[in-house]
Amino acid sequence: MDFLDRILYIPLDRLPFYLITLIIAFTIHEFSHAYFANKFGDPTAKLLGRVTLNPAVHFDLFGIILLLIAGFGWARPVPVNRDNFSKPRLMGIIVSAAGPLSNLLLAVIGTLVYAMLNHFGALESIDNEKLLSAIRIFFNTFNLMNFFLFLFNLIPLPPLDGYRIIEDLAPRSILGDLKRLEQWAVFIFLLIMIVPPLQNYTIRPLYAFANYMYLEFFYAFQYLIGG
C-alpha cells in the first residue's frame, strides 16, 4: 500500500471515486464526439461501435494509468473523417467541442445536485458517517474532475480537442505548417505535463482554476436555490 501511495498521483483512499468519475466522464466525452460526428454524416465512429455508452470501447489503458500516476490522461480518441461533413470546418469544431462541453455539463449538473442536497438538508439526515463521507468525496471528486477535464481538453496542443478546434479555425494556408509541427507539439505536450517542475505551470494551475469554477458554481447555485 505504501508503494502505491508513492507512485499514484491520486491518494489511494480516493482511488475508487476517481475511477468511477473517469468511467462516467470519459465515456460521455467520447460518446459525444462519436454522436455528433455520426449526426453530421460521418459514420466512421458508428461503424467502429463508438456511438455507445459502453465504457469498455472508449477506455485507453495507458491513458488511465498515466492519469492515476501523473495527474493527466486520455480515453481512446474517436476517429473522425471531416470529409464526410457537408460543412467540414464548422461541423469539425462542433464535434471537437462536444467532448469538453459534455464534461462541463456533467460538472454543472453534478454541482447543482450537490448544492440541492446540501441546501435541503438531505445529507444531514444520514447518520452513517462513512456513507456521508463517501457521498461528499464522490461529489467533490466528480465535479472537480469534470471541470478539470473541460479545461484540460481545451489546451491547444495535440492530441487534445483544443488543438483540433484550432486546426478547423486556422487559415488553410497554414494547415500544412501545423501538420508538420504536430509531432513536435505532441512531444512538447508530454514534456510539460510529465516533468514535475513544469507541472507547476500546467497541471496544477488547471486544477486550481477548475476548483475555482467548481466553488463559484456551487455558491451560485446555493444562492439561487436559497433566494
The residue from 30, 124, 129, 182 that is catalytic is 30
Cell of 104: 462541463
For residue 90, CA distances in Å to 82, 84, 86, 101, 136 come to 10, 12, 9, 16, 40
Instruction: Please tell me the distance from the alpha carbon of residue 192 to that of residue 195, in angstroms, as a whole number.
Output: 6
30 is catalytic: yes
Q: What number of residues does the chain have?
A: 227
| Cα 99–Cα 104–Cα 109 angle in degrees, nearest 5 | 125
Nearest Cα neighbor of 94 from 74, 105, 109, 80 is 80
Show Cβ contacts of residue 19 under 8 Å, excluding neighbours closer than 6 positions.
none
CA–CA distances in Å: residue 154 to residues 16, 87, 206: 26, 22, 11
Positions annotated as catalytic residues are 30
